[in-house]
Amino acid sequence: MDLEKIFHMKGGLGETSYSNNSSLQVSLSLSLSLNICKRAADKVKHITLESIEEMFVEIRPRSLGIADLGCSSGPNTLSNIKQLVHAVEMVCNMQLHQPPEFRVYLNDLPTNDFNTIFQALPDLYRELNKGIRRRNHDGHGIYIAAYPGTFYGRLFPDNCLHFVYSSNSLHWLSRVPPGIYDEEDGVPVNKKSIYISERSPPRVSEAYSRQFQEDFSLFLKSRSQEVVRGGRMVLILLGRRTTGPDHIDHLRGNSFFWEILYQSLATLVAQEDKLDSYDVHFYAPSREELEDEVRKEGSFKVELVDMFETDKDAGNFPSYGVAVAKTVRSIQESMLAHHFGEAILDKLFDHYGRLVDQELEKQDVNSITTLLVLARL
C-alpha cells in the first residue's frame, strides 16, 4: 500500500475533519488544547518557545528558517507558527533589535489539505502585522510556503533551517513493517491485533522496533543536512514508558487505543483474513529508543527529554470516549476506508467511543507523550 497516497487526516472543516477534532493532540497551540490537556500543553508551550528563543539569541540569523513537519491542516497549524514568530519578536523588542525575516516551511504528505491552510493565510498575515515593527518596508517579513513530501528523506536545501517543530507526527512510520508478514507467502503473522499487543509473536514487536529505528535515523540524517549548527528541533510524539525487550506497552499506554480499535473492528468485520491483514504504521518509542537513535546518528545532541501523561478530559464532547473516537476517526479514516470500505465507519466509531468509556471505568489508561529537544552539533 502506498501510504503517501492514501494516508491523510480528514481535510476541510466538516464535522469529522481533523480541523474540528484535533483538540486531543498535545501541541504548542495552547488555546486549542486548553480544556483537554492544559498541564501538558503549558509545558510543551513553555519548552518550545524557550528553545526557539535560546537558539535565536545564540545564532541571531537575519533570515530565520522555521519548519513545521507534519503540520496537517487544523487550527493548530497556523497558531503554532504565530506563537513561534511572536516569541522571537518579543526577544527582539526587549533587546531593541530589528526582528529577522521569517521563512516558514509547512510540511506534510502530499495528500494533506494544504488549501485550507492557504485560505487562512491572509488573516494570519493581518494578525502578525498588528503593531509590530517590521524590517522591510514593503512586505510583512514573513514568507510561508508548503513543502509536500515525506519527512523520512530530504525536504529542504542545505543549511536553511534554524528551528524544526514537529508535533504528533513522528509516531507515524513510513510503512507497516514488512517483517510482520511471512517471508514465503506474505501471510500476516500479527493475527487478532492491529498493532503490537500481548498476543503478538515476538517478531511483530521486533519488526515494529526495527522500522522505527530505520525511519527515525533517516529523519535525523535528512534534518542534519538542512538544520544549521546550533539550530534546534522540538519533537513531540506519542511514547511508551516501558522499556522491556518485547517493546510491549504493559502499562495500558497508547497501544490500548489500538486494542480497542481492533475489538471494535472485530464486531463488524466477519472475514478473518480481512481483519488480520490490517495493521497500523504506528510506533510509540521509549525514551531510550529515541536517545539511542540520536546518539547513533551523531549530528544532534539531546538537550531535553520529557514524558507526560495526557489528561483525560472530554472537553466539549459528551464523554472522553467520544472525544477519542472523533480524534482517531479523523486520523485513521482514510486508511480504514481504503481497507474495509466507508460503510463501516459510523458504526465503528460509535462502538469505539462506548468501548473506551467502558474500559476506563474498569481501569485507567496512561497515554504518554514524549517531548524531545535536540540541538544541531
| Chain positions contacting ligand SAM, by CB under 6 A | 8-9, 22, 25, 27, 70-72, 74, 76, 107-109, 112, 150-152, 167-169, 172, 174, 331
- CB nearer to ligand SAM: give 91 or 104: 104
Contact 103, 63 (CB under 8 A): yes
Distance in Å from the first CA to the final CA of the chain:
37
CA distance 371 to 377: 19
Q: How far is the CB of 8 from ligand SAM (least distance, A)?
A: 5
CA 13, 18, 24, 26 torsion-angle sign: negative
- CB nearer to ligand SAM: give 172 or 257: 172
Q: How far is the CB of 3 from ligand SAM (least distance, A)?
A: 8
Q: How far is the CB of 237 from ligand SAM (least distance, A)?
A: 10
Q: How far is the CB of 214 from ligand SAM (least distance, A)?
A: 13
Amino acid (1-letter code) at residue 18: Y
- CB nearer to ligand SAM: give 74 or 253: 74
Q: In what order do the strands lie in the sheet with 300-309?
A: 142-148, 101-108, 63-69, 161-167, 227-239, 368-376, 300-309
Q: How far is the CB of 6 from ligand SAM (least distance, A)?
A: 11
Question: How far, in Å, are 40, 123, 198, 295, 305 from residue 30 at the CA level?
Answer: 9, 19, 35, 31, 20
Q: How far is the CB of 240 from ligand SAM (least distance, A)?
A: 18
CA distance 201 to 252: 18
- CB nearer to ligand SAM: give 275 or 280: 280
- Report the candidate in 13, 145, 31, 5 with the shortest Cα–Cα distance to residue 73: 13
- Report the candidate in 221, 336, 219, 222 with the shortest Cα–Cα distance to residue 274: 336
Q: How far is the CB of 165 from ligand SAM (least distance, A)?
A: 8
Q: How far is the CB of 22 from ligand SAM (least distance, A)?
A: 5
Q: Where are the beta strands (DSSP E) in 95-136?
A: 101-108
CA distance 177 to 188: 11
- CB nearer to ligand SAM: give 72 or 264: 72
- CB nearer to ligand SAM: give 108 or 259: 108
- CB nearer to ligand SAM: give 99 or 285: 285
Across the strands, what pairs with 273?
none
Contact 141, 99 (CB under 8 A): yes
- CB nearer to ligand SAM: give 8 or 247: 8
CA distance 258 to 34: 25
Show Cβ contacts of residue 319 under 8 Å, excluding neighbours closer than 6 positions.
353, 357
